Structure 1
């Protein structure tokens, strides 16, 4: 998979890819992936985890989902879809791409094109 994406399969990349992709589709932060790596004795720094996640994203293996300015998740499902963000749990849940419709799209600035629209719907338990 790494070679097909144009990435050299180093030991650290392979170990992180195994953690990321062996459990089906998931949403994970760099910090949580780092904790998982440490728990299974993968010697990797948090900086390396961040770098690897960004490399995987640039290679098309992951999607980056920014929930807030400082909170970013990485999604192993690269298909067209959106997300519910469950406040208080800091958890993302997929919404199928056809589950959201937009009445109108703004025109892209001159010389630009819309690549993708990503919707994050924030939810919390009713009180």
Structure 2
């Protein structure tokens, strides 16, 4: 999204998105959301990976979050993989990412039933 553009509302994306403008609302990205140095996002973000080198204010749910040297983040980050480069700023709280579901599997061995739990990945 180009610098100078502004979007308000909900975005759902199957691919990567680079924000050079301003977004207010909710973003669901299946892959990577990149907020460039000129970009800003205000609201809720759900993505596989989020890279912030601009401004973010809100709640972010991602497997991996990177705050780069020009990044300014305010809000709550839900992730198990957070990195902040020197110069990057973060004011808020972090919480664990969404736990992977546990699946019960029953297997039959020699006429007896055996129950196992495995993490679904």
TM-score computed with the length of structure 2 as normaliser: 0.27
- Structure with greater contact order relative to length (CA < 8 Å, sep ≥ 6): 1
Q: Higher strand share goes to which structure?
A: 2
TM-score computed with the length of structure 1 as normaliser: 0.26
Higher Rg = 2
